[in-house]
Amino acid sequence: MQVLKFGGTSVANAENINKVVDILKNKSVEAPVIAVVSALGGMTDTLQQAGELANAKDQQYIQLWESIKERHLETASQLGLGSETKDEINQRLNELKEIYHGIFLINEFTTKTRDKVLSYGELLSAFIISNCLKNELDGTELKDSRELIVTDSNYTNARVMDDVTSQNIRSYFKNSTARVTLMPGFVSKSTEGETTTLGRGGSDFSAALMAAALKASVLEIWTDVSGMYTANPKLVKQAFPIAEISYHEAMELSHFGAKVLYPPTIRPVLDLNIPILIKNTFEPEAEGTLINQSGKLDFGPVKGISHLPNISLITLEGSGMVGIPGISKRLFEALANEKINIVLITQASSEHSICIAVQSGDAQRAEEAISNEFLFEISLGKINEAIVEHGQAIIAVIGDNMKNHQGISGKMFSSLGKNNVNIRAIAQGASERNISAVIQARDVKKALNTLHNRFFEKQRGTLNLFIVGTGNVGKRLLDQIAQQWEHLHDQLYLNVKVVGLSNSRTMIFDEEGIDLENWEQLLSEGNKKDEETWFNTIKELNLQNSIFVDITANEEVANSYSNYLRESISIIACNKIACSSQYSKYEQLKYLARKYNASFLFETNVGAGLPVINTLNNLVNSGDKITSIEAVLSGSLNFIFNNFNAETTFLDIVKKAGEEGYTEPDPRIDLSGVDVARKILILARESGYTIDMEDIENISFLPDASLQPGSVDQFYESLKEEEAHFQKLYVEAADKENRLKYVAEFRDGVAKVGLQQIAKDHPFYNLDGKDNIVLFYTQRYSDQPLIIKGAGAGAEVTASGLFGDIISLGKN
Ligand code: ADP
Ligand code: ASP
Ligand code: MG
């Protein structure tokens, strides 16, 4: 005998039912089949809802009933069933209407009536499917499972009387010659002869009872996914079906929310060692998941991750609990008397507090039960009023083999911590098959993905980028990410996604990653940019490894960094403003990054893509001490003084630098030395010095006339008039065979920037084009400096510097 169960989605409509019929026709060739079916998908909820409306004296229950009727009749029509079948459906639905009417009249919807109402779902679907199959296959029978499965009268979650039920099943099938026996799942009958149900999701259990009683070789659960997955596939895109898993692991996973299998299902088949096979009705060729005794131990320590939503945490504490025996017993008894199921328990070893997790629906009753039980102690102040926190969830990491591996919980908690998932309580079963933690419900998706990533994805990390700024540098960065995507994915196991993108006008989001071949078009069609929505969306998406990338020169954007860091969102900035504003702000950002486990990287603030800051950090972190820094840090000034000589005019060269794109549109920003001052300030700070912009000596080489406020044209005019001043600077240097360089220096805690004459033997002398150079003198590099030299400006190299920062986060 083969036992197959088809869930709600598998029989949701005529099209799906036809798939089920095909599977049954094929299967029945091998051996007789029992097919247990659920109600049409979603029907149980609808039946319940109509009952609640009637109970609330809301006439709309009639409309809902009509939709129930429509759906069944339409399915029957689409399956080509005749009037006899439809008459029968009509008749049963009229009975149901009577029941609803009764509920409406007396406004009472007891659990007993509820079971009666809900049973119509399975009874009708089994009836329809059996009639459909009868047209296709001789030897099809319909058997009402209520005649076989006997329970107590615990309505909505009845307990099965194992022995009579087994006997009933065996004696019925001993005499049956059917090829396929269709049976409604979920429904049963009490010893008093009333309809009962086996609990929501209980059709799986009905099928397990059949398989156990008849010692079937396998129990097949046909559903809408290709097996039991490493995590809920609706929440974790990277989840995959587990080929083989043990009964105990499957039980833990389903107990902690893997709805694909109703937890009680396992018990009847486990004792008899009957394997369960989870199959996909919509992809019958897929292997599915085999659940058996051993569950293939060579898989790795963790088999799956699951979660329970809607959890409330109740904490009981007080000095009166220490060393007093029986407090826990009283607590648990009080809850047991109220039939409240405790999902998780932790107790601090000081015995000062006990923390339990319950389903949110039970929380209020639990609180009342506890208050009543400890009324006396609370009144004396020996125990505090129970504290109830709602909006929690439990996540659980499960695997039989975890006990043989060290450090699983360390990995679990450190990955959650890194992603700012706050853990409220932890429990680990003595069997070490399960480690569970209570977290905030809003963090569930992030936590599942983080843990899945950690335990299953060959360490493939996902980086979720939110990029602001799509000018020259932004464009290059997006190009580089698109070009390198495959390499990162295949070689570095990094999945880099641009989830948010914005410029000053519009913004777009796509959790799956914005299409980088087409971002310009998409962005132009995006929503209007507004800082608050942009930030809140990133916060609400709450994705693991979120990184905010600032490619603007905007002060408002720089001022928002602290908000991101507080949400554990890392910052990668090309924008220099944050690091070069007041020291206290810079220090605060560094502090927040540490506190919230986020990174704050700004390699491109100095020398574009050159590894200046990274090198400096490595020196300092490894215990070296910076004694002085000498540097040429302005590509534009270097270009200007490399090209300016007796044959040219200063104005022409400044204009040429502008035309080549080496200066800002307003060249005064470069020529005044402010930009260079910001850079040396950042290097001094990163060297460990407390220093501010006002502390930097900046002696301008510009004549007074060029320093007056006015338009860019007026500035140009002044340069023209002051040509003699600039020529003098040149000639004085040239006479001594020196060259002019705009130099930034930091020595003994003092920083200065300004134009200097550089002699032939100095490393700066031969600095070409728009290159930068930095000399670090340190305790270790005391005679000869550590030198970093290369292109220090330009969109391509700046973008690659940003990219380097991004990848460095992936490696962590
Ligand atoms: P049926 O109606 O066939 O009984 P259910 O809806 O009860 O199906 O269970 C299947 C659903 O369980 C899947 O569609 C999936 O959303 C959910 N699910 C949750 N966790 C898991 C998991 N770990 N593996 C597979 N499915 C899961
Ligand atoms: N139809 C019932 C429910 O939705 C039982 C089942 O489908 O397993 O809970
Ligand atoms: Mg189910």
The number of the ligand 2 atom at minimal distance from the alpha carbon of 202 is 8
CA of 156 from ligand 1 middle (Å) equals 21
Q: DSSP string of 355-402?
A: EEEEEHHHHHHHHHHHHHHTHHHHHTTSSPPPEEEEEEEEEEEE-GGG
Q: 213 to each of 17, 210, 261, 358, how far by Cα in Å? A: 27, 5, 19, 34
Pocket test residue of 36, 40, 223, 245 for ligand 1, highest count of atoms within 8 A of CB: 223
Q: Which residues of 267-286 are buried (b: 16+ CB within 10 A; e: fewer)?
A: bbbbeeebbbbbbbbeeeee
Decide: 265 in ligand 1 pocket, CB within 6 A: no
SS3 106: helix
Architecture of domain 304-456: 2-Layer Sandwich (3.30)
Note whether 340 and 493 are within 8 A (CB).
Answer: no
Which helix (H) or strand (E) segment holds residue 19: the answer is helix 14-30
CA of 499 from ligand 1 middle (Å) equals 28
Instruction: Check whether 41 has a pLDDT greater than 70.
Output: yes
DSSP annotation of 460 reads -
Can you identify the CATH homologous superfamily of domain 2-216?
Acetylglutamate kinase-like (3.40.1160.10)
Atom 8, ligand 2: residue with shortest CA distance = 201
Determine the distance from the C-alpha atom of residue 297 to the mean position of all C-alpha atoms in its chain, rounded to a whole number.
Answer: 28
CA of 794 from ligand 3 middle (Å) equals 58
Residues with Cβ within 8 Å of 22's Cβ and at least 6 positions away in sequence, in order, are: none
d(CA 11, CA 223): 9
Alpha helices in 81-232 (DSSP H): 83-106, 111-136, 162-174, 203-213
Pocket test residue of 10, 224, 228, 259 for ligand 1, highest count of atoms within 8 A of CB: 259
Note whether 731 and 750 are within 8 A (CB).
Answer: no
Q: Based on the residue annotation, tell me whether 679 is a catalytic residue of this protein.
A: yes
Residue 555's pLDDT band (boundaries 50, 70, 90)?
very high
Tokens 């898993």 belong to residue:
245
Q: 266 to each of 230, 244, 269, 274, 383, how far by Cα in Å? A: 18, 15, 6, 9, 41
Pocket test residue of 220, 225, 262 for ligand 1, highest count of atoms within 8 A of CB: 225
Instruction: Check whether 768 has a pLDDT greater than 90.
Output: no
* Mean per-residue pLDDT of the chain: 94
Q: Which residues surround ligand 3, an ion (CB under 5 A)?
A: 7, 201
**Residues 33, 172, 91, CA angle at the centre, nearest 5°?**
80
Q: What is the 3-state secondary structure (H, E, C) of 612-663?
A: HHHHHHHHHHCCCCEEEEEEECCHHHHHHHHHCCCCCCHHHHHHHHHHCCCC
If one looks up domain 461-607 in CATH, what number appears?
Answer: 3.40.50.720
Decide: 234 in ligand 1 pocket, CB within 6 A: yes
Structure tokens at 398: 């499960």
The number of the ligand 1 atom at minimal distance from the alpha carbon of 227 is 25
Same fold, 304-456 and 461-607: no
Average pLDDT over residues 753-763: 94
Q: Exposure of 379 by Cβ count < 10 A (0-12 exposed, 13-18 middle, 19+ buried)?
A: exposed
Set 679, 741, 770, 789: catalytic member: 679
Q: What is the pLDDT of residue 110?
A: 97
SS3 260: coil
Q: Which residues of 512-550 are buried (b: 16+ CB within 10 A; e: fewer)?
A: ebbebeebeebbeebeebeeeebbeebeebbbbbbbbbb
Q: What is the pLDDT of residue 430?
A: 67
Note whether 644 and 634 are within 8 A (CB).
Answer: no
Note whether 409 and 428 are within 8 A (CB).
Answer: yes
CA of 201 from ligand 3 middle (Å) equals 4
Residues with CB under 6 A from ligand 2: 7-8, 38-39, 44, 121, 185-186, 200-204
CA of 260 from ligand 1 middle (Å) equals 3
DSSP annotation of 258 reads -
Q: What is the pLDDT of residue 297?
A: 60
> Which of 660, 611, 657 is closest to 637 using CA atoms?
657
Note whether 69 and 93 are within 8 A (CB).
Answer: yes
Atom 5, ligand 2: residue with shortest CA distance = 201
Q: What is the pLDDT of residue 550?
A: 98
Instruction: Check whether 805 has a pLDDT greater than 90.
Output: yes
Note whether 658 and 719 are within 8 A (CB).
Answer: no
The number of the ligand 2 atom at minimal distance from the alpha carbon of 38 is 7
End-to-end distance of the chain based on CA atoms, in angstroms?
54
d(CA 76, CA 134): 13
Residue 298's pLDDT band (boundaries 50, 70, 90)?
low
Note whether 309 and 444 are within 8 A (CB).
Answer: yes
Instruction: Identify residue 680 by its one-letter amino acid code.
Output: I
- Specify the range with the lowest mean pLDDT, choosing from 282-296, 448-462, 488-502: 448-462
Tokens 């429509």 belong to residue:
70
Note whether 47 and 117 are within 8 A (CB).
Answer: yes
Q: What is the pLDDT of residue 53?
A: 98
**Residues 586, 545, 421, CA angle at the centre, nearest 5°?**
95
Decide: 16 in ligand 1 pocket, CB within 6 A: no
Instruction: Check whether 730 has a pLDDT greater than 80.
Output: yes
Note whether 620 and 626 are within 8 A (CB).
Answer: yes
Note whether 392 and 440 are within 8 A (CB).
Answer: yes
The number of the ligand 2 atom at minimal distance from the alpha carbon of 121 is 1
The number of the ligand 1 atom at minimal distance from the alpha carbon of 262 is 7
Note whether 567 and 442 are within 8 A (CB).
Answer: no
Decide: 9 in ligand 1 pocket, CB within 6 A: yes
Atom 6, ligand 2: residue with shortest CA distance = 201
CA of 424 from ligand 2 middle (Å) equals 33
d(CA 47, CA 68): 8
Instruction: Check whether 31 has a pLDDT greater than 90.
Output: yes
The number of the ligand 1 atom at minimal distance from the alpha carbon of 221 is 3
Average pLDDT over residues 263-287: 96
Average pLDDT over residues 747-757: 95
Ligand nearest the Cα atom of residue 259: 1
The number of the ligand 2 atom at minimal distance from the alpha carbon of 200 is 9
Decide: 224 in ligand 1 pocket, CB within 6 A: yes
d(CA 553, CA 574): 8
**Could you state, in order of their start, the residue ranges of all structural domains in the chain?**
2-216, 304-456, 461-607, 612-790
SS3 38: coil
Note whether 215 and 369 are within 8 A (CB).
Answer: no
Decide: 260 in ligand 1 pocket, CB within 6 A: yes
Instruction: Check whether 254 has a pLDDT greater than 90.
Output: yes
Q: What is the pLDDT of residue 403?
A: 85
Structure tokens at 765: 């002398």
Top CATH class, 612-790: alpha beta
d(CA 607, CA 635): 8
CA of 312 from ligand 3 middle (Å) equals 24
Q: Tell me the per-residue pLDDT of 155-167, one tens digit each, with 9 for 90 and over.
A: 999 999 999 999 9
Decide: 28 in ligand 1 pocket, CB within 6 A: no
Which helix (H) or strand (E) segment holds residue 220: the answer is strand 219-223
Q: What is the pLDDT of residue 660?
A: 80
Q: Exposure of 505 by Cβ count < 10 A (0-12 exposed, 13-18 middle, 19+ buried)?
A: exposed
Note whether 376 and 402 are within 8 A (CB).
Answer: no
Structure tokens at 520: 């310009």
CA of 258 from ligand 1 middle (Å) equals 6
Torsion sign across C-alpha atoms 37, 43, 49, 52: negative
Q: Tell me the per-residue pLDDT of 220-252, one tens digit each, with 9 for 90 and over.
A: 999 999 999 999 999 999 899 999 999 999 999
Average pLDDT over residues 183-188: 98
Structure tokens at 119: 């049973």
More confident residue, 358 or 320: 358
Q: Around 442, how many Cα atoms within 13 Å sit in the side-chain half-sphere?
A: 8
Instruction: Check whether 562 has a pLDDT greater than 90.
Output: yes
d(CA 369, CA 380): 18
Pocket test residue of 4, 9, 10, 38 for ligand 2, highest count of atoms within 8 A of CB: 38
d(CA 757, CA 780): 28
CA of 268 from ligand 2 middle (Å) equals 19
Pocket test residue of 11, 186, 259 for ligand 2, highest count of atoms within 8 A of CB: 186
Q: Which residues of 603-615 are buried (b: 16+ CB within 10 A; e: fewer)?
A: bbbbbbbbbbbbb
Q: What is the pLDDT of residue 378?
A: 92
d(CA 408, CA 667): 57
Q: Tell me the per-residue pLDDT of 627-641, one tens digit each, with 9 for 90 and over.
A: 999 999 998 899 999
The number of the ligand 1 atom at minimal distance from the alpha carbon of 222 is 3
CA of 225 from ligand 1 middle (Å) equals 7
Residues with Cβ within 8 Å of 713's Cβ and at least 6 positions away in sequence, in order, are: none
Instruction: Check whether 33 has a pLDDT greater than 90.
Output: yes
Structure tokens at 98: 């009577």
Share of the chain above pLDDT 90, in %: 84
Pairing outcome for strands 750-758 and 434-440: unpaired
Pocket test residue of 36, 43, 44, 149 for ligand 2, highest count of atoms within 8 A of CB: 44
Q: Exposure of 785 by Cβ count < 10 A (0-12 exposed, 13-18 middle, 19+ buried)?
A: middle
Instruction: Check whether 460 has a pLDDT greater than 80.
Output: no
The number of the ligand 2 atom at minimal distance from the alpha carbon of 45 is 4
Q: What is the pLDDT of residue 655?
A: 93
Average pLDDT over residues 506-525: 96
Average pLDDT over residues 50-63: 97
Decide: 7 in ligand 1 pocket, CB within 6 A: yes
Atom 3, ligand 1: residue with shortest CA distance = 7
Decide: 38 in ligand 1 pocket, CB within 6 A: yes
Q: What is the pLDDT of residue 351?
A: 63
CA of 119 from ligand 2 middle (Å) equals 10
Determine the distance from the C-alpha atom of residue 605 to the mean position of all C-alpha atoms in its chain, rounded to a whole number.
Answer: 31
Q: Tell me the per-residue pLDDT of 395-437, one tens digit each, with 9 for 90 and over.
A: 999 998 888 888 898 999 999 998 889 998 888 876 788 999 9
Share of the chain above pLDDT 70, in %: 98
Instruction: Check whether 213 has a pLDDT greater than 90.
Output: yes
pTM for the whole thing?
Answer: 0.70
Decide: 264 in ligand 1 pocket, CB within 6 A: no
